[in-house]
Amino acid sequence: MEFWLLLGGGFVLYLFIKSIKKSSTVQNRNTQMPPPKKDTWSRTSSSNRVSAHLDDDEDEEDFATFTISYGHEEAKSKNKITGRWVRSGESISVKEHTMTGGNFYFGGQLTSLDGYGTEASLIDSALKANNQPLTYEDDSLGYWPKYNSISDECRGALLSWLASERNDPAAPLGYIFIYFYGLERRVVVDSIQSGVDDTEFKAIFEEILRLKDIYGTSRSFLNYATRLLEIMCLLRPNVVSHAGLERNPKQDSVLLKHKLAKAVDQGYPIKAELALAWLKFIPDYNLRKPARRCAYEFSQMFTRLYAKKYNEGINVKPNKTRLKIKYWPASSTLRGIKIPHEDLPDPSSLKGPTNKLTAIADECTEALDAYSRYLGKSDTSRTDIAAVLLLPEELNDIGATLGLSKFKQWAEDSIVSKNGIVDFSEFWKFTKTPLPEKINKKESELIQSLAEKAGLGLVPDTRYHHAKASVDGKLVLFSEGHGKYFEPSQAFNETGMTLRLGAMVATIDSHVDEAEFTLLKQLIDHNTNLSPTEKRSLHSYLIWRLNTASNVTGLKARLEKLGAKEKAAVSKILIGVALADGKINPDEVKQLEKLYTLLGLDKSLVTGDIHNVTTRKVTVSDQPTSKKFELDESALAIHESQTKDVQSMLSAIFVGEEPIEETPASEEYDTDKENIGIDAQHYALYENLINRDRWSRNEIDALCKKLGLMTSGAIETINDWAFEKVDAPVLEEEADAVYVDQEIVEELEG
C-alpha cells in the first residue's frame, strides 16, 4: 500500500514539474512589456483588440510587467545574413516581389533591443511567403505583429504592399505598423547610435508624415506617428520641424514640454501661441464645446485677450522638477529607448501659470457661447449675418472677412457715391431675412448691430437720434461709426433737435436749397461743444432728415409746455431757415403758419417775423428772386447763443423726443401668434417659468391655476412646442420640482 502511495505522489510531482517547464517555454515566446500610464492607447486589427495604460512618470525599474501572447510562434529561419537597412531607391526582390521604395530592414539576423527574439520589422527572404493581395489578412495579424510570426499568406500580402505605392488606405493596419517599426528603429536607434545623415533623416520624417495622412484615421497609428515625429524634431531641430505639431499638441506632447522648458530656462516670456498650445496640453482641463466647435475663433480670441492682458506673455520662474523625455515605441522589440536631451526644468504642470491660462480660456468660451450655439443648429454657416453678429467684439475683423465683406463693400461704395443714403429695403437684404411689415425694437437693433460690426455709423440710430426708420424709407451710413463708448452730449441733443426743426422748414417746398443746407450744416460745424464723432453723426442725421418725410409726431405735447420766450426762440429758428435761400413762397408761409399754430402762436405773426429777421423787405411771391437777403446778427447767432431761454427751450423739446413706437406686448403677441406656434395661455406660463431655473411643484400648480391650465398637460404642451422649434424639451420634470433648461430657452428666444 505504501508503495502505491509513493508511486502516485511521484506521478503528481512529475506532472507539476512538467507544467512549470511548459509555462516557462510559453513565457519565452512572449514579450514582457512595461505599461506606462497617462497615455491611453489602443491598436486594433480585424482579429483582436488590446489596450494598455502607460505611465511615463515612473522609472523603468518600477514598472509592473504583463505578458501578451501573439497567438503564433516566430518562424525559424536558417538565414544567417545580418540584417541591414535598405535605403529608398534601392531595388530588392523577395518572393517575386520587387521593391524599390526601401525604408526597411532586410536579412535574417537582427536582434530586438529587449533581447527577446528578432526585430519585428525585419524582412527575411528565407521565410515562406504565399502571394496574396495587399488587402488580405487573417488571425495571425494580431496585436504587435512581427514579420516572422505572421502567417505565410500575411507575409505575402505585406510584400505586395511594400512593392506597391504604399498608399492604399484599404491595407490592414498591421502591415503599416510592421513597416513603421522599421522607420521607428532607424530613428530612435540608428540615428542616435550610428550614422544617419540629415538627408535621409528628413526623408524618413516626410515618409512618416505621408503615412500619417493616409492611415491617420486610426487613432492608434496617429498617436504613434505623431510621437515619433515629435522625437525627430527634438533630435534634429535644425533638420526637421512641423508647425502643426506645436500649434495642436497632444496632451502628452514631449515637443511642447521641451519648448516650454527651453523658454522658462532661458527666461523668455511665454508668448500667446505657446500659451494656447500649453492650454490644450493641461491634463485636467478640457476645452468646452464652444472652444471645440469654433476652434479658429477661440484661438484668435484667446491669443488676443492673452496679449492684451500680459503683453509679451507671462514670465515663469524655473522650477525644481526636471524635464523627462521618454519614448514609448510602437514596436514590441524596441524597449529601453533613451532620448538624449539637455537638463531643463519642467514647468508644464505648474498650477500658477495654468490657472491664468484657463481663466482666459473660460472668458473666451463664455463670449463664444451664443455664436457656437447658433452654428450648432442645422443649415447654419459662419458666413450668415446672424452668426457674424454674434461674434464677440474682439473678433469684429473676422466678421468683416466672413458675411460682412460684401455688406461692408456695398456700404462704403454708398458712402462715397451716394453720400451714404440707401434704401432701407436694400440694406435689409444683407440680413437674409424677409422684409418686415414694420420696424420695431428688434429690427432696429439688428440693423444697428450690422452697421456697428462693419465699423460704420447708421442714421437713424434709436440710441442716439430718438427716431426710427421706415420700411419704405431711407437710411444714411457714415464711416467710422459712433464707437463702443459713445455717449451723446447735451450739445449733441440740442443740435439734433434744432436740425429736426430746421429740416421741417427746409423741406416745405419739397426742395432743399443749397443755402438752406449750408445754414443747417453751419449749426453743426460752428458748434465747438461737439466732438468729431458727434459732428459726423449729426451731418448724417441732417441728410436723413432732409431726405425723410417731415412730421410733427410727438412735438405738439412738448411744445405746449414751452413758455412765451421759448416759443419765440423756436419761431426765430424756423424763420431763419425759411429765409436762408433769399426767397419765400406762399406754400412756405402757409407751412410756417401751421407750425406757429402748433407752437400756440398767432399765425398772423409769421409775416411780421419774416420782416423783422431780414434787413430789407422780402417779397412773398411765386417767382424766385435773384437777390440774396442778409440775416441780422441776432438771427445768425440763434443757435450759438447761450441764453437761458434758448437752452431751456432746446432741452424741453428734446426730452423724450419722438419715442420709438413699440407694439404693446399683447398686440405684438397677437401679430406673431401663428409664428409662435403655441396659444397665449401656455406661452404666458412659459414666459413666467423662464425667469428661474427651478420651480417647486406647488409653485407650478399655482401658476397653472391662475392661467386655467392643468399642470401635467401644460408642461407637455410647452415641451412639445419646444421640440417642434429646437428639437429639445425646455422643461424637465422631477418628483418635487420642474427645471428650466436655460440653454434651450436661449435657442427658443433666438
Judge if 73 and 195 occupy the same domain.
Answer: yes
Judge if 58 and 194 occupy the same domain.
Answer: yes
Measured distance CA(703)–CA(577) in Å, rounded: 60
Beta-strand pair 421-423/474-479: antiparallel
What's the whole-number average pLDDT of the chain? Answer: 78
Q: Following CA atoms 663, 665, 666, 671 in sequence, which dihedral angle do they give, to the nearest 10 degrees? A: 50
- Alpha helices (runs of H) in 550-643, residue ranges in sequence order: 555-559, 564-578, 586-599, 605-613, 633-636
Instruction: Dump pLDDT digits (tens) for 165-190.
Output: 999 999 999 999 999 999 999 999 99
Judge if 100 and 187 occupy the same domain.
Answer: yes
DSSP-assigned letters across all residues of 470-507: -TTSEEEEEES-S-TT----HHHHHHHHHHHHHHHHHT
Judge if 148 and 272 occupy the same domain.
Answer: no
Judge if 469 and 555 occupy the same domain.
Answer: no
CB-hemisphere CA count at 13 Å for 495?
29
SS3 of residue 45 by DSSP:
coil
Judge if 96 and 133 occupy the same domain.
Answer: yes
- Range name among 185-189, 224-228, 256-260, 558-562 with the lowest pLDDT average: 558-562
SS3 of residue 729 by DSSP:
coil
Residue 661 lies in a domain: no
Residue 659 lies in a domain: no
Q: Hey, which of 241-255, 439-453, 528-542, 664-678 has the most confident mean pLDDT?
A: 528-542
* Residue at which a domain ends, from 623, 654, 685: 654
In this prediction, residue 37 carries a pLDDT of 34
Residue 224: name the closest of 336, 144, 328 by CA: 328
Residue 297: name the closest of 194, 236, 367 by CA: 367
Judge if 256 and 222 occupy the same domain.
Answer: no
Domain containing 423 equals 405-479
Judge if 542 and 593 occupy the same domain.
Answer: yes
Hey, what's the cell of 440? 420695431
Measured distance CA(298)–CA(287) in Å, rounded: 10
Residue 196 lies in a domain: yes
* Residue at which a domain ends, from 654, 683, 699: 654
Residues written for the chain: 750
**What whole-number percentage of the chain has pLDDT above 70?**
76
Average pLDDT over residues 496-517: 76
CA angle 550, 455, 547 (to 5 degrees): 15
Hey, what's the cell of 207? 515618409
CA angle 51, 52, 58 (to 5 degrees): 165
Residue 485 lies in a domain: no
Q: Hey, which of 214-228, 374-388, 409-423 has the most confident mean pLDDT?
A: 214-228
In this prediction, residue 4 carries a pLDDT of 56
Residue 301 lies in a domain: yes
Please give the residue that has the higher pLDDT: either 458 or 596. Answer: 458
Residue 14 lies in a domain: yes
Judge if 220 and 201 occupy the same domain.
Answer: yes
- Of the pLDDT bands very low, low, confident and very high (cuts 50, 70, 90), residue 365 is very high
Judge if 587 and 635 occupy the same domain.
Answer: yes
Residue 185: name the closest of 124, 111, 255, 236 by CA: 111
DSSP-assigned letters across all residues of 153-174: HHHHHHHHHHHTTS--TTS-HH
Name the domain count of the chain. Answer: 6
As a whole number of Å, the CA-based R_g of the chain is 41
Residue 388 lies in a domain: no
* Residue at which a domain ends, from 380, 395, 418: 380
- Of the pLDDT bands very low, low, confident and very high (cuts 50, 70, 90), residue 675 is low
In this prediction, residue 251 carries a pLDDT of 61
Please give the residue that has the higher pLDDT: either 556 or 632. Answer: 556
Judge if 506 and 619 occupy the same domain.
Answer: yes
Measured distance CA(269)–CA(551) in Å, rounded: 63
Please give the residue that has the higher pLDDT: either 82 or 335. Answer: 82
Instruction: Dump pLDDT digits (tens) for 44-72.
Output: 333 333 333 333 333 333 444 443 444 46
With a CB cutoff of 8 Å and minimum separation 6, the contacts of 636 are 576
In this prediction, residue 342 carries a pLDDT of 87
In this prediction, residue 330 carries a pLDDT of 92
Residue 315 lies in a domain: yes
Please give the residue that has the higher pLDDT: either 717 or 659. Answer: 717
Instruction: Dump pLDDT digits (tens) for 98-108.
Output: 999 999 999 99
Measured distance CA(294)–CA(387) in Å, rounded: 12
In this prediction, residue 656 carries a pLDDT of 40
Judge if 585 and 445 occupy the same domain.
Answer: no
Q: Can you list the positions of beta strands (E) in 325-386?
A: none
In this prediction, residue 132 carries a pLDDT of 94
